[in-house]
Amino acid sequence: MHYRNQHGAYTYRWSGDILLVTIDGVWNEVCSTNLHGDVLKLVQQGRPERWALFNDCKQWEGAVPEATTLWFDLFFKMCVEQGMVCCASIMPSHFIARVVKDFTVQCSELVPTHNFLTTVDALSWLKERGFRVSEPH
């Protein structure tokens, strides 16, 4: 599935027991709220009992503070409630990884969460946790 407009953009789909989410652009509250609603519908249609989130942020350009708060309070917490047991995110740079460090710590209080700079490292981390991984397309 794909969503794009002036509020930001994202795609999402299952790959086995991993939910692949790609985010890009500059996000506001509308994009965070829409992602929550779309993914909630997806997981309610059927999901693995135990699953991982692979969050590809390579094209993400940032967000207003309200968008990140909603992303955590609506989307991330819903994912945990629906069976997500860990989250691997790819960051576009060391700088962005530093910017979201406190946010990553907050997520890590709920489930193991780690930021990476490469897809290979993120997928290796998920594989170590028992997830079937394949290169996202």
The beta-strand segments (E) located in 1-137 are: 2-5, 8-15, 18-27, 51-63, 84-90, 113-116
Distance CA 80, CA 30 (A): 21
pLDDT tens sequence across 110-136:
999 999 999 999 999 999 999 987 655
Domain locations in the chain as residue ranges: 2-128
pLDDT tens sequence across 29-83:
888 888 889 999 998 898 888 999 999 999 988 888 888 888 888 889 999 999 9
pTM: 0.88
CATH 3.30.750.24 fits 2-128, yes or no: yes
Q: What is the pLDDT of residue 3?
A: 47
pLDDT tens sequence across 73-116:
888 999 999 999 999 999 988 888 888 888 889 999 999 999 99
Distance CA 70, CA 77 (A): 10
Sign of CA dihedral 53, 64, 67, 59: negative
Residue 17 has pLDDT above 60, yes or no: yes
The beta-strand segments (E) located in 32-137 are: 51-63, 84-90, 113-116
